[in-house]
Structure formats: C-alpha cells, structure tokens
Structure 1
Amino acid sequence: MVDPTSSLGEDVDESNAPTCANCDEPILNSPTHRVVTWVEDEKARRRHFCSDECREEYDG
C-alpha cells in the first residue's frame, strides 16, 4: 500500500523524487531519508536529506 501522505511512494521515480539538500542526490525509497520542517513567513518549509550524516554536514 502506498502512503498517500508520503512523497516517496512506490510510484516516485528519479525525475520527480526529492533531492538531498546537502549532496543533491535523488532520494528513492531510502530508509535513511530525513525531512526537516519549519514555518517561515506563515508557510511550511522543508528540506530533504538522504541520511543523518548529510543532515549533520548541512547544519555544520
């Protein structure tokens, strides 16, 4: 079953997959995928990361 709230469902291919904010690699069905969300200017914002390591490097 595809989770309708997930942007990484089974029907996502490389051309429309999110990319890592740090290394720019497409993220496809990755168990290490991380999403950071925040509110800015009254809008929800998000950044995708392919791993905890990429997330830490981006913050650093």
Structure 2
Amino acid sequence: MKQSLQDRINAIRAEVDALIDKKVAKAAKASPGIPAGVLRNLITNRAPECQCRQYAVLEEREVI
C-alpha cells in the first residue's frame, strides 16, 4: 500500500528531527552545562519554519 502524503511528511520530519538531535548531542558534549533545548534553538533559529526548511538551511551551511 502506498503511503499517504501526510505519512511521508511525518516520516521526513522525524528524520530531520533525528539529525538535529544528533547535532544537539554533539554540541552538548562540547558545551556542558548548556541545556539541550537552548542548543537546539541556537542550531535551528536560522530557519524557524518547519523541519524541512530547517534541514535545508542547515545542510546549505554544512551544519548537518
């Protein structure tokens, strides 16, 4: 059965979140004491829209 568009969007968003979480974990090791939520905001604030746009901007800037 073919996935619905919404299912594919949800899967992509989850994949992007996982990539951002990995980047946050790496940053947290380098910056102990800074909460993960703060690091995530610092990493993603350049593209505050949806996860797809965040990924595109982060990849463009070679952050991911």
TM-score range, shorter chain: under 0.3
Hey, which of these two has a bigger chunk of strand by percent? 1
TM-score, reference length from structure 1: 0.21
Structure showing the higher helix proportion among its residues: 2
